[in-house]
Amino acid sequence: MAFMAFMASNKCSLLALLVLSVYVSVTTSRVLNEVSMSDRHNQWMLEHGRAYKDVVEKQRHFEIYKKNIEFIDSFNNGDHKFKLGANKFADLTNEEFRAMYNGFRLSSTDDSKAKSSFKYENFTDVAEFVDWRTKGAVTHVKNQQQCSCCWAFSAVAAMEGAIKLNTGNLISLSEQEVVDCDIYGEDHGCNPSFTDGAFKFIIQNGGLTTETNYPYMATQGTCNMQKTASHAAQINGYEQVPANNEAALLMAVANQPVSVTIEASGSAFRFYSKGVFNGPCGTELDHAVTIVGYGQDSDGTKYWLIKNSWGESWGEDGYIRMERDVEYAQGLCGIAMQASYPTI
């Protein structure tokens, strides 16, 4: 009874105390969060060799960094098949990121509907797992940097695979040659373009030289006629995989690496770190990559193994596994909408 009376008479002050202590802890943790967030930003800057021209610029990027980290932390606290990481894109807004690191656009003459033969249409010997890296048909992960020429990287990676599978030689070929010299069609240097245009150029050009001979500069330069005269490898055509058909895509990838286009501008894709990516993403194709295999995760999730061109620090050492055989025909992020491969 005495205790109850005490409780009753002290209810207000207890409540006040409670409110006060919650307020204090919220304020303290907010201040602590700001401090630790700023520490994290400084740490991240060191890790990624980022410098800003002045404090205003630093503050602006800090605010973006903070929003991105909050998104990444809250995503990672949820239940997902994949994890995100504060990678080198963590201080960019979505608009800045999109402008710099993607680079695919649909052809204005849109020949995507053009009738194309598909030489793997009757292929049935589809293995359960394929990883063209283990067959030595994939070169090192490259980095397009701030040049929207993913279309060149995607096409060259598919060509490198085709050359290896046909000749036995893995040769790292020159994206820079494509960026500098492909000035005939709709493709222009560091501007968004389309993968089939790169294949057309390579055919017209009579082949490509090596990456060593014509190294990547991440900017468009004048076509070096001397370098482009020494071809290291040739293709003589390309074919499109029947659109919106993951089964057909599987038949193609079972035979060689394939160029595909996806929507890659969402935050979950940008900050992908590991696991099987399953969205969210739409089908507004804006990035070209190369499928270099497929398989199934231990939990049964089927995936495509994809080589990206954002350097080795992104994703799983430069690769991403994206969910395969989704319930809509376009595939996850539109991956089955526009796939093609070179022929020799």
**d(Cα 5, Cα 168) in Å, to the nearest integer?**
89
Count the site residues for ligand NAG by CB under 6 A.
3
Q: Is 122 in the site for ligand NAG (CB under 6 A)?
A: yes
Cis peptide bond upstream of 280, omega within 30: yes
**d(Cα 87, Cα 94) in Å, to the nearest integer?**
14
* Residue 150 annotated to the active site: yes
Catalytic residue chosen out of the listed positions 150, 181, 281, 333: 150
Phi, psi of 93 (to 5 degrees): -75, 165
Choice from 39, 63, 121, 297 touching ligand NAG (CB under 6 A): 121
Q: Which is nearer to ligand NAG, 70 or 121 (CB)?
A: 121
Given the rule CB under 6 A, which of 16-24, 116-124, 170-178, 205-213 is the region that contacts ligand NAG? 116-124
Q: Is 343 in the site for ligand NAG (CB under 6 A)?
A: no
User: Least distance in Å: CB of 116 to ligand NAG?
Assistant: 12
User: Least distance in Å: CB of 260 to ligand NAG?
Assistant: 21
Catalytic residue chosen out of the listed positions 68, 190, 255, 287: 287
Closest residue to bound ligand NAG by CB? 122
**d(Cα 7, Cα 249) in Å, to the nearest integer?**
71
* Residue 181 annotated to the active site: no
User: Least distance in Å: CB of 154 to ligand NAG?
Assistant: 24
Q: Which is nearer to ligand NAG, 141 or 249 (CB)?
A: 249
> What type of residue sits at position 158?
A
Q: Is 119 in the site for ligand NAG (CB under 6 A)?
A: yes
Contact footprint for ligand NAG (CB under 6 A)? 119, 121-122
Active site (catalytic) residues:
150, 287, 308
